[in-house]
Structure 1
Amino acid sequence: MTAWKKKEKELTKEEAIEQARAANLPFWFGCSPKFVIYRAEGRKASVFPLDKDFDEFSWMITILNPSTFSGQKMISFTREMQKRYHVNNVKFLVVIPSFYTYLKDRTAIEAIIRRHQITCPVAVDPDYLICEAFDVKKLPAIAVVNKREVLYSHSGDGWNEKPEEELQKHLRSTDPGLALLPLFKEQSGELSADVHIMDLGRGRNVKYPEPGFKPLEDKPGTGYAEFKGDRPQVMKEGEFFIKGKWHQDGDRIFTRDKEAEIGFCCPHPGLSLVAQSMEKTYEMAKVVIDLDGAPAFEVFGSEDLTFDEEGQSCIKADTTRLYHAFKSIPPGKTQITLRFTAAERTSVGLHGIRIIR
């Protein structure tokens, strides 16, 4: 027998929009939700505006992973475009898909906004529906939109080559004599993009020595492994070495083993790590980084490289983020070793490794 249920009142358009706005508010920062994503059965996700701004203005939408060098470079590009074109009533939006679990956390997103001085609205894309609606094939991605029409879009490498040119073309389509700045050019000699991204969590792109991580019955979603063996004296590009006692979940690997090591070859000048301290007290975790078996020279270092009391080159991590260790490693197939000498006291979590050209 089916229980009788009072028929729900059909919402007006205004009530439905207000309900959608309230439901999506936790995923937007710096403004109320500008649009919502909906998907009719069997169809691609689509954008439905919740704010007249999205229908009335031109927008540059940048979709990025802030735990990659390319994603952070896109944030800087967005800031530059905003400075140049806000006077032309162009609006800007940064979209952050939840590539890692921490990117669903409001506190973490607020920290990213502060750290990178993002002044335009930010939207989190927990289910990748915004990516689907804008046909994103690879991150980072960018779209120039006018009154819901996508005028230009690009995914992956080369994302910064044409969007400003296309935006200027659009602005001059209604005002041919509009005075605009020369196209922005990056300074030569800067690091440009991630070459090799290693993501260390379960089911991601790093293959571990057999038998790999064994699931822990008392901790669903977590695995454990003890890796043994000697590191090859010379590792080739793309090879990965790991030693010691490690745990793994869907986002990261983590250890309390002070003898643990990770090794790989870095043939490019830049190296960054997505790392964190696993301690609830936010005690800093230390990752010692050796280049060709020795501490690095300070001149090779980037903003997060430091040196401990023993003269070892290292990064010290607290909250989860991308830590920039090196920006000018000398040319060649440099052998990198990550060591975790203080892990017994402060457990270290590693989400990923970024090699940057």
Structure 2
Amino acid sequence: MTPTHTESAPQASGHAADLDRRVRELADSDIAQVGSVLRTQLADHAAVLTGVHPDLRPVSAVLARAGNRGKRLRASFCLWGARGATRGELPPGATQIAAAVELFHLAALIHDDIMDHSDQRRGLSTMHRHFADEHRHNSRIGDADAYGEAVAVLAGDLCLTWSDDILAEGTADLDRITRRQVRRIFSVMRDEAIAGQFLDVDGQTHAVTSATRAELVLRFKSAKYTISHPLRLGAAVAGAPADLLSAYDAIGIAAGEAFQLRDDLLGVIGDPAVTGKPTVDDIREGKRTLLIAWAEENADRIQRRVLDQHLGNPEVTHDGVREVCEVLRDTGAVQRVENRIAELAAQSTELIDASPVDEVTRHALAGLVARCVWRAA
């Protein structure tokens, strides 16, 4: 007898629940392993630092705390990229590669917060702000802010070097061709992320926002480095063929751009109590995002004056932030970004459905993309 729709629905629902459970079990195990690698790495280096002098303890402690926080999105994409290439088990070195991506990300955040003059990250004081406040609390001599920024630069540099250490460990036992491929992708990831960061900083020196330039920042500062490169690193460590690397790149660019567009929205109209970051930061720094570019395209004379007055103003008030947000909504820029996010999310979902990976990986990647795109923090 052919099953009716009502008879087959519980089976489909049960299958989805089984997939959810399997994905959750693997994800929890994978991220726990990444956390273990990071804790060991940070503890080993802390021993070296504090062995030089006890005054290094505060730096080591803050880095350890920062290393234990975060969404682990990049590590997750890396590990599922590897599982998709093997259709099952994690290949040797994958956990270390994922941990290396996370440490590189931590370095990028620390340095990005200095450049953006951000006071908070993930609900805590940023690295440079933490050490500036410590300087003041202990009544030290000299410029507290300069001290905090100097310590944060050094802390970020440490994370950069440590990420390379873990990468070397993860690739040590791979064959020469695979090791070269992994290191090449990692190197390109670093170059492109820093290039995107430069374009972001440089864009703040121009009076008019170029949509083309904003899209370049979107792609290279965030999209490829958040999803595309981690996926490809996971695939590469498993020795995946070129067609899977290409599929992952396409998925990563679409999903990654949607991720950053969501980040741009949250940066100005999000709830700071949820995001852990004040909405004033992006406006104060004059971030030239696609959201801003599209607002400028449709702004009338009065709305343009509001944007000119407040974007990039280090003394911008909360009322000024509110006025900018009104312009972003009234010009249709917010809705245009939401529409673009929906388009990119649908595109990435179609690409995942068509990708040459197993069902569990496909289900996991779809869930990760949804988590990136439809988030509140």
Common topology (TM > 0.5): no
TM-score (norm 1): 0.30
Which structure features the higher share of helix residues? Answer: 2
Which structure features the higher share of strand residues? Answer: 1
Q: Which has the larger radius of gyration?
A: 1
